[in-house]
Structure 1
Amino acid sequence: MGEANLLLDALLDEAGMSYAGLASRLNRGRNTRYDHASVRRWIRDSAIPRGEGPLLICRVLGTALGRPITLADIGMDRVRPGDLSDAPLHTAIEQVAALWRGDHKRTETVERTRMLAGNAAVAPVFAWENPPDDIDVSHRGPLAVGAGDIARVRAARDRYEQMYRRVGGVPVRPRIVAYLNTHVGPLVRGGYDDRTGRELLRATGGLVALAGISAYDADQQAPAQRYLLYALRMAKASGHPGFGGYCLALLANQAMYRGEFRRVLQYAQTALRGARGHLSPALAVDLYTLQAKAYARIGDARSSHQHMTAAERIEVRAENEPPETGYVQPGLLETQQADVLRRLGDLTAAQAYAEEAVRTSTRTHLRGRAHRLATLAQVLGERGDAEAAVAKGHQMLDCAEGMESGRIQDRFAGLSRALTAFDSQDVRDFRERAALLAQHDQ
């Protein structure tokens, strides 16, 4: 089976046409027997009808929508599904709009999205770093887009990010994709000049990236990857290399979670190279730390220490940072370093870093505090101090209570595993509470 055809599904929805309705129109005056199942197969499996079928689909939808429809518009130009590396900007915008529309409506097409692997996962990154650039991103459309529209998209991103930090990606993701579908879709298809278009794509890319973060946190890894790659495409068109570096850092974080450690190095190195001179200090710290973690996972302690040192040498000043890097808050670097040192087996140093991270965590949000406490608790558990680990673990659960987040649940599970060697009542009570909170969040 092929990958679902989001573009055709979205156009049918826009035209208000059912699967059976399209099939009926295609059959009129012709010796064909298309039916509901035929159209469902074209969408579900990205199948392409034989002969003049694709051109007829373009003609029928074009008549219904009152504008020319091409084979690329219906996803039947025979370009390999999921290839985001060579898509013209207009096509990429329609593709991501089809993705967030399907996500908003929870269609089967989005559920069938698969992770890109191999060259398909790397080519879009190569395309971001290398020519050709988008010379003119202006667009003709029915809605005139201005600075106020762009400001509202930016404000929405900030609002949803704060919500994400409080309650996690599971409840926030549907809100983001609904906003993208209802409010942002008409803007990116509207009318704007080149300058306004670049700022619109920058703002939209920030919200699309946050949709990817929320999908990742909700354990919807394939849609998350697509959102992040589309955000990267928008970063290129916007002319903001630093934002592209941010998108690559998010992709590297997802690759780390999936255990693709060499991919982490590839993404992070590309970001540092491709956005040189445009990266904020906080983002550079995050990228070097990601590399340190990846090197630790593949057993290269020397390279891991080198990248930890590189991260520590960078001074971060919050007032000079863009909105997206607000996650690099006090204690994050120490938390990441503690995790690296724990992986390398240096538990004494790991505890020192983790304790410093917790000490400064009063200045961060609850989600960040929960991660810092989880790291310290895990180090304490691995050092054999079950009593202290449980105490910090309960503080972590206090911070995380009410959050619906796959990554927070991972921290519950990780600490519970670290305490399996201990059979005290305190440990059993903690593991029971963690399990109950995890069940509540599902």
Structure 2
Amino acid sequence: MTAIANERNGRAGVPNEKLKELLEEVGWRPESLARRVNAAIFAIRRENRQIHHKTPYRWLNRGEVPHAPVPEVVVWLLADATGRDLTFDQVWPGSAPRSSLLLPADHRLDLPWDAGGLLRLLEEWSHPMLTRRTFMVVSGTTLTRHAWQWSQAPVPVLASAAREGDRVTEPMLELVEDIAARCRRLDERHGAAGAAFVADQFACVSRLLRRSRYDARTGRRLTSALAQLAQTSGFMAFDSARDGEAQRWYLTGLRAAHAAGDRALAASVLGLMSNQAMEIGETGDALQLATAAQEAASQGPSTVRALIAARSGLASAAAGDLATFQRLRAQTLDLLERAQDRGEAAPDWAGYVTRTELDAIAGRGMVVLAGQMLTHRSRLLAEAEDLLRGRARTDPSGEPQRSAFRHGAWLGLAHAQAGDLDQAVAAARRAVDRLPGVTSARSVGLLQRLGRELAHARRSPEVKSLLRDLERRLPHAEPPGV
């Protein structure tokens, strides 16, 4: 563990009264501030660099200013807690002015939901200063208002504003759409390992929209591909536990799907936003976003509606709402059967939506519910094991490997919580064996959690051996308090 050092400035030795007043306003002790800073730095950098819990006393009593990114993190945390836009000098008076490297995920997204608004957003994405910033998670109405604004905005007609530049031809469009599909398969196979490549493809399509000549029909196809690339990038960022960046991608994908007039794709993005909110403990946001996703998908293909119902069930599970979870589970199965009976075709981007995948999502929800509903615990865990098993045992040469890795870790947790140590160890080993080919920080975190849950059974030779392997093969850093 690396300590984060402090730097002195011209006011060293002079108490920082402004910081003291802000801490009193939000009701935080210096030790609480230190814990929040450590958690935020881990979320930003995935590094377990820590400040000592007494260090903020030096900032208060001696006027010391720590090295970056700690001062910017403190400004961000206090701005979020007070609900005010705080400048650097309002927290660290007398220090050299700094331009914060931390921005909210919806930075400069207060734009019209028309063609001009989307093109301005894409211009922002291309700015090199913005690409070097770190985006921080937003919550509450700051996040959910985008979902409701989208649902009320008319679909724009997007035709090129460029008077010069090459025309987007049909072969070029087909290439763009093929790349979007291949990027999605890259995620399904290898997780977040290809995140930089997918982001580059997003930048290429963005440049076409901003600088090339095309008609409205071509604009819709380009923005559809752009939305798919943003959705894939968002999930890769989420899977890497870069939640602010994931939100930024999702919000951009929502605007692109809107410009494409693709409500089903917008529903998918909203469903992923809901699942992310659930994972980071924002259950109220998760429920609102799930509702928005269901409304968006209401007239869409049955397969997409089944996907959204399954994802929405996770929000209900986090809220401890078994009745709604069961209703959504039944709805998922009915919609899948309807799609099969009618021979309905799913959108290309929803090709991964199968009974096995949606069962696995429901299995995750049942593990979450089992942790809250002790009277139903045994039944829920038994059902979860059955539902997770199919995806967790995906052949090592098959697809999707990222989902198999993640749901394998969930299956191990279900077995461990049911007291079946042998099955928990077996599931964990199958998941770990996928590590060389799949990059997934969140799945690694689940395996670390599984290791902690099995630690009480160290006397078991199988558990002891597994814990040694987990220690050897998994990254050591993990979020504080997880």
Identify the TM-score tier after normalising by the shorter chain: 0.7 to 0.9
Which residue does the alignment assign to 1:229? 251
* SS of residue matched to 1:412: helix
Q: Does 1:320 align with 2:354?
A: no
Tell whether the 8 Å contact from 1:401 to 1:437 is kept in structure 2 after alignment.
no
- Tell me how far apart the structure 1 counterparts of residues 328 and 468 of structure 2 sit (CA, whole Å): 38
Which residue does the alignment assign to 1:68? none
**Residues 109 and 336 (structure 1 numbering): CA distance in 2 closer, same or farther, change over 3 Å?**
closer
Matches within 5 A, 1:105-116: 110-116=132-138
Q: Does 1:342 align with 2:378?
A: no
- Which of 293, 305, 308 is 1:287 aligned to? 308
Matches within 5 A, 1:40-79: none
Q: Does 1:132 align with 2:154?
A: yes
Matches within 5 A, 1:29-178: 81-84=107-110, 86=112, 88-99=114-125, 102=128, 110-141=132-163, 142-169=165-192, 171-178=193-200
Which residue does the alignment assign to 1:11? none
- Which of 294, 298, 302 is 1:272 aligned to? 294
TM value normalised by structure 1: 0.74
- Tell me how far apart the structure 1 counterparts of residues 214 and 477 of structure 2 sit (CA, whole Å): 43
Shift of residue 108, structure 1, vs aligned partner = 7.0
Q: Give every structure 1 segment of 4 or more consecutive aligned residues whose post-TM-superposition deviation is greater than 4 Å.
A: 40-46, 316-319
Residue-pair matches, total = 364
Tell whether the 8 Å contact from 1:366 to 1:400 is kept in structure 2 after alignment.
no
Unaligned runs of 5+ in 2: 1-96, 371-376
Unaligned runs of 5+ in 1: 1-39, 47-79
Shift of residue 45, structure 1, vs aligned partner = 8.3
- Tell me how far apart the structure 1 counterparts of residues 385 and 126 of structure 2 sit (CA, whole Å): 38
The Cα RMSD (Å) is 2.9
- Tell me how far apart the structure 1 counterparts of residues 333 and 215 of structure 2 sit (CA, whole Å): 42
TM value normalised by structure 2: 0.68
- Counterpart AA for 1:414: R
Shift of residue 136, structure 1, vs aligned partner = 4.8
- Tell me how far apart the structure 1 counterparts of residues 152 and 326 of structure 2 sit (CA, whole Å): 30
- Tell me how far apart the structure 2 counterparts of residues 109 and 178 of structure 1 sit (CA, whole Å): 12
- Which of 317, 329, 332 is 1:296 aligned to? 317
Query: 1:168-225, CA deviations, whole angstroms, 9 ceiling, x for partnerless residues?
Result: 21x3111112233345413443111111111111111111221211121222211211
Query: 1:299-327, CA deviations, whole angstroms, 9 ceiling, x for partnerless residues?
Result: 22222222222222221559722222233
- Counterpart AA for 1:90: G
- Counterpart AA for 2:474: A
- Which of 392, 398, 401 is 1:366 aligned to? 401
**Residues 406 and 93 (structure 1 numbering): CA distance in 2 closer, same or farther, change over 3 Å?**
farther
- Counterpart AA for 1:374: A
Tell whether the 8 Å contact from 1:334 to 1:354 is kept in structure 2 after alignment.
no
- Tell me how far apart the structure 1 counterparts of residues 158 and 190 of structure 2 sit (CA, whole Å): 39
- Tell me how far apart the structure 2 counterparts of residues 416 and 44 of structure 1 sit (CA, whole Å): 35
- Which of 298, 302, 310 is 2:331 aligned to? 310
Which residue does the alignment assign to 2:208? 186
* SS of residue matched to 2:299: coil
- Tell me how far apart the structure 2 counterparts of residues 365 and 319 of structure 1 sit (CA, whole Å): 22
Which residue does the alignment assign to 2:456? 421
* SS of residue matched to 1:145: coil
Query: 1:254-302, CA deviations, whole angstroms, 9 ceiling, x for partnerless residues?
Result: 1122111221221121122133212x33332232223322222222222
* SS of residue matched to 1:82: coil
Tell whether the 8 Å contact from 1:252 to 1:263 is kept in structure 2 after alignment.
yes
Query: 1:129-161, CA deviations, whole angstroms, 9 ceiling, x for partnerless residues?
Result: 113331454433422112222221211122222
Shift of residue 250, structure 1, vs aligned partner = 1.7
